[in-house]
Structure 1
Amino acid sequence: MSSGHSFDESLILIAKEIKVELTYILRLYKLKLLQVSKLVKIIDIRDSQDIFYNKYLEKMYFNELTLRQNAACASDILRLSLLYRDGGMYVDVDTLPSHKNVYKDINITTLSINENLLDIIKSEYLLQEVRQRKRYLKNRNISLSHIEAQINDKRILIKLKERAADRLSDFYNQDSLYVHRDIIKVATQNRIYEINNNTLLANKGSRCIRIILKEVIRRYKYLHSNNFIYSTPSHKNEKVSNYLSRLDKYRHDGLSNYNDTEVTLLLTGPCLIHEVLLGLCYEVFKIPKNISPTSVSYIFRIDRTFLGFNNQTHYTPEQLRSSWL
């Protein structure tokens, strides 16, 4: 890139040197981008100035794409930087708005099926209605037969399909949102002590986002100072607490099934955000240290704290096929 080439051009040139052809893949990507642009407005962020919080994070963004091919980590850095610069709402493409208004009053207490699988069925029935009315390609419909077979009352499936057709408009009518100028809203998981960064809402210049970005930088600098970015040394250059040593297996991230190699979650992802928000809760609300972080996580689900966002559907057909790894 120092020779005047763009990131894409530099990547293609380097790939050719190691006998990897990327030109064809890039051409396919551009064709797909052209198709998507017919449905939604696409803005190329490369045309924008000062996207990243600072130059150091910009370097880490490109490092993640080139050294580890970790699009999840790169995306985490980018979404936080853009939210701080512009404010707004970030949403993963494999999530959907809440469908509780569409399917309310349908009794599902007698069903012998996991609630998450039922969400996938509800989502796909709605998406099929959208595709039919918008005349989108129906071959995008997902086969749910293996999930539907687990439902012991087939009349419920008929009711769900009818409700998706009759109340599709309710799917578009979501509750209004309020976000404090210095706080963020994060997606709350089904489990009370977890959050997700697949949906983030913040105002421009949010102090909370700035604190999170500074913690991302601190964790990357820990990796740099111990030479973990480019190698996996057997010893550290300095003594540190176990809190940051969780990042030591940075280069093994995603290569093992062990939990201690999921560094992305701790470095830039939802675990990082969760830990920062917990720290702020203890400090701002003067919470005694003897109260466990799990208990404090209840705060994210209290509406008046403005922290939690639950107007979404986590489990969708697209979510079945996606992975952050």
Structure 2
Amino acid sequence: MPVYQAPLRDYQFILDEMLHIYQQDALKGFDEIDPDLVDAILQGMADFSTEVMLPLNSVGDLQGCKLVDGKVITPEGFDNAYWQFVDNGWPTLTCDPEYGGQGLPEVVGIFATEIQTATNMAFAMYPGLTHGAYAAIHAHGSDALKQKYLSKLVSGEWTGTMNLTESHAGTDLALLRTKAVPVSEGVFAITGEKIFISSGDHQLTDNIVHLVLARLPDAPEGVKGISLFAVPKVLVNNDGSLGAPNTLYASGLEHKMGIHGNSTCVMVFEGALGELVGEPHQGLRAMFTMMNQARLGVGVQGLGVSEIAYQNALAYAKDRLQSRALSGAKSPEKAADPIL
């Protein structure tokens, strides 16, 4: 199994000596942190990731997700690890305390995310997408929508996704065809197909909140006619309890070179009921709140994966024996020198 040691000293240097986050007490959330607290949080994340997430990385890659009888099943051990993650409170770190979050600065969460993605990027994408959905609803949703979804997304009891891409359009969202038709006050029927939906379906949680881009009947052409909708896998009753399954499903799993432990799905919406997030025809603006979270996440993923790759390449170079160093034997007591 690969080795990993979270670069905690690097984090301490960046946070304290470069960013001076402990002197930024005028900023929301920064007035409640100190070096001991942040060090304890990141050490705890490092312990959890190396002990629980890292051993599942190869399991996820080898087993992958499976579509069984119309339902997606994650690799062995992912469900237990996910609920340990939730029970330890990790999804709540940087979320609004009004909805059960800890209110810590996002910069602290970024380092925690790097540790997660270094040890198991496929696993980390489930809470990662959820945090993006939380951010979009928190910034653009109505009070009623926030009350319905945010506490469950913050706690990790439910997960979230973003549904943008369609097979004929790729990244050209001006061409999307998914439709939203009003059915009652504030409720719309969403019909269409989306592809490459990370964490699109799974058995980890009882509900998944899909953020879906679609067009209203009176929508203008192009990106100025796109609206955003919160479409749950399972409908939510007025008292917050779960109701009937919504009319949406994963019709297939995308084939990928890696991150097989994350369920990247083709999602089909057949008149699925959803609610507007933000204003009509302003969906792209609302979705970009989530997209910008995802962009930060992808950058951190690259950093995390490169860190663990470096650490294991270095360990291998110190251990692998082959030939002698050109400047003379470095380990004369051995049959050859380490390739380092």
Interval of TM-score (by shorter of Structure 1 and Structure 2): under 0.3
Structure with the bigger RCO (C-alpha within 8 Å, sep 6+) is 1
User: TM-score, with normalisation over the residues of structure 2?
Assistant: 0.25
Higher normalized strand content (fraction of residues): 2
**Taking structure 1 as the reference length, what is the TM-score of the superposition?**
0.26
